[in-house]
Structure 1
Amino acid sequence: MTLPARVRLVEVGPRDGLQNEPVIVPTEVKLGLIARLVAAGLDGIEVGSFVSPAWVPQMADTPDLMRRLGPAPAGVRYGVLVPNRRGFEAAQAAGAREVAVFAAASETFSERNVNASIAASLERFAPVAEGAAAAGIRLRGYVSCVLGCPYEGAVAPSAVADVAGRLAALGCAEISLGDTIGAGTPETALAMVAAVAERVAPERLALHCHDTGGRALDIIRACLDRGVSVVDASVAGLGGCPYAPGAPGNVATEAVAAMLERMGIATGVDRERLAEAGRFIAGALGRLPAPPA
């Protein structure tokens, strides 16, 4: 395969990036961040989740955030995470037009994260998929631990392919493959993507890399040559890895955009405005902005 002419960046900072912050981030700050991300040209933005506030207090304001955001601008999708039918119904009531469900390729991680086996978690998503299809709401799927589990260690590519295939069968338009602990290498990522591509077309796949091991950009670069053309990233590298305290978490959107530009691959992202969004949220959180990419 050859490199794609264009890569779509899915911005996960407002949800995945902020959900582990130790202090509650005001809704006004989230609105300011999302507005800047839209202005930077990002057309897919995860804005929140409809999980229990007891589990993720940072996302408790998602219904109010959705109300204040209003309909997404033309050509832009605001995505939200939902864990089950109840979460989906709340998201639908708030006007969501894209919802995401999340599974794992590791049985132990699934039990620890959602208190259910992989099979049971997928069963929970069936009514979500049915509701989304009936309402014309786009469905996205996540698979965690695709390149390693904090409890089980290495994860077989066939296990990832099985979960991804089952999510595709449920109706997920796109499936994001998450290196949850940043344990991957280009070699292990290529083997995993090859296995998944036997079940799900590469154009329906996205990469969601954590930079814990400092290999996220290398992994993305390698997998672009295998037909993957969607990459999740987080502005300013928001979001640490809870299994590696102090280590980097989500790969920074600024770094991915800069790498793709150097490779001659279009993203539609204005890097100066993206950097401004990074400075805005870094300032709001009392941190230094990310170094220039």
Structure 2
Amino acid sequence: MAHLSDIRGVGLGLKRELIPPFKQHEGKSLLANLQFVEIAPENWIGMGGKYAADLRWFAERYPIACHGLCLSLGGPDPLNVSFLRQVKQFLSDFEIPLYTEHLSYCSDTANGYIYDLLPIPFTEEAVQYVAQRIRQTQDILGQRIAVENASFYVAAPISEMDESSFINAVLAEADCNLHLDINNVYVNSVNFGFDAYSFIDQMPAGRIVYSHIAGHLQVKADLLVDTHGASVIDPVWQLLAYAYRRFGVFPTLLERDTNIPPLTEVMQEVDHIHLIQQEVTQAHSSSVSRVA
């Protein structure tokens, strides 16, 4: 049976385009630093035939994390309980120990799924509303989930607190974990003019179970779009290293969803995450040794 502790080291979002080269390089040095993969359950639930066989192939070789796309934790409609029951069965079938979702919403009654992540108003009322939906999700799944800080481009119309305070309040009220997206912190810091390092400082260390890092699109100097379609830039790498130094090394996954290069290039960034993890771990060990 898989456990949350199996999600460790460095991971990669599993895109179907990467499956053939993955199989081609099985057991080779190219994949040496890859320790887990991530999938969106919406893209795999109910799949049979070749797709089911592909997923089983990965489940036999790597721990899997699930990162949901459509639960719409902050949305106005009731939670999709039927879908959550499917997720529960899916997690059990493939022994997946971790399920995360976005701290945002992506649907409404009039339009259905919007296919974009919209910001939740940073209010006490919203804290209570979202936390109740997270608790309901956890009750149905029978396990704690993690919620991810989302990127956004227009501020919610009503706010009583800043984003970091809102995240902390939701985590405490729902008693859930944090899926810390480093690139989203950086994107929002540019789009809304706050200090990304101070934001990281305010995250609750004991609730961080997992993180994402990715590339983005710079539209203007003060407008970044979280596309997952480019290489990670230096300021985001530096922010990841800072978070490791601040909280200790935690599992980190590279997202690459569009403009996907050959696996050899993707793995260069996976290897770079591994290198940063090693450097921070070694620096911490050296510091402890000097103190001792």
The residue number in structure 2 matching 1:253 is: 270
What is the number of residues matched between the two proteins?
217
CA, structure 1 residues 42+70, in 2 after alignment: closer, same or farther (shift >3 Å)? Answer: same
CA, structure 1 residues 177+219, in 2 after alignment: closer, same or farther (shift >3 Å)? Answer: same
- Cα deviation, residue 191, structure 1: 0.5
Query: 2:84 aligned to 63, 83, 88, which one?
Result: 88
The answer on 1:217 being equivalent to 2:237 is yes
TM-score scaled by structure 1?
0.55
Q: Which has the higher contact order (CA 8 A, sep 6+)?
A: 1
The answer on 1:9 being equivalent to 2:9 is yes
Q: RMSD in angstroms over aligned alpha carbons?
A: 4.6
Matches of 2:118 and 2:212 in 1, distance apart?
23
5+ long unaligned stretches in structure 2: 1-6, 72-79, 106-113, 217-232, 260-265, 284-292
Does the 8 Å contact 1:207/1:232 carry over to 2? Answer: yes
Equivalent residues in 2 for 1:1-293 (5 A)?
A: 8-14=8-14, 18=15, 25=16, 29=20, 32=23, 40=32, 42-46=34-38, 48-51=39-42, 59=43, 63-64=47-48, 65=51, 68-69=55-56, 72=59, 77-82=63-68, 83=71, 84-94=80-90, 95=93, 96-104=96-104, 113-114=116-117, 117=120, 119=126, 123-133=132-142, 137=143, 139-145=145-151, 149-152=152-155, 158-180=162-184, 182-183=186-187, 184=189, 188-196=195-203, 200-202=204-206, 204=208, 206-212=210-216, 213-234=233-254, 238-240=256-258, 252-263=269-280, 265=282
Does the 8 Å contact 2:244/2:280 carry over to 1? Answer: no
Q: Partner letter of residue 146 of structure 2?
A: R
Matches of 2:211 and 2:162 in 1, distance apart?
17
5+ long unaligned stretches in structure 1: 1-6, 19-24, 52-58, 106-110, 242-248, 267-293
Q: Partner letter of residue 210 of structure 1?
A: A
Matches of 2:102 and 2:166 in 1, distance apart?
14
Matches of 1:152 and 1:166 in 2, distance apart?
18
Q: Partner letter of residue 85 of structure 1?
A: V
Q: Partner letter of residue 64 of structure 2?
A: Y
Q: Partner letter of residue 37 of structure 2?
A: I
TM-score scaled by structure 2?
0.55
Instruction: Select between 62-71 and 77-86 the one with higher mean Cα deviation.
Output: 62-71
- Cα deviation, residue 256, structure 1: 1.4
Matches of 1:116 and 1:152 in 2, distance apart?
7
- Cα deviation, residue 122, structure 1: 5.0
Does the 8 Å contact 1:143/1:177 carry over to 2? Answer: yes
Runs of 4+ in structure 1 off by over 6 angstroms are 33-39
- Cα deviation, residue 72, structure 1: 4.3
CA, structure 1 residues 27+10, in 2 after alignment: closer, same or farther (shift >3 Å)? Answer: closer
Matches of 1:182 and 1:100 in 2, distance apart?
20
Matches of 2:245 and 2:150 in 1, distance apart?
22
Does the 8 Å contact 1:208/1:233 carry over to 2? Answer: yes
Matches of 1:116 and 1:166 in 2, distance apart?
14
Does the 8 Å contact 1:142/1:178 carry over to 2? Answer: no
Does the 8 Å contact 1:174/1:204 carry over to 2? Answer: yes
CA, structure 1 residues 239+228, in 2 after alignment: closer, same or farther (shift >3 Å)? Answer: farther
Instruction: Select between 158-167 and 32-41 the one with higher mean Cα deviation.
Output: 32-41
CA, structure 1 residues 206+224, in 2 after alignment: closer, same or farther (shift >3 Å)? Answer: same
Does the 8 Å contact 1:103/1:144 carry over to 2? Answer: yes
- Cα deviation, residue 219, structure 1: 0.7
- Cα deviation, residue 160, structure 1: 2.6
- SS for the counterpart of 1:151 is coil
Greater C-alpha radius of gyration:
2
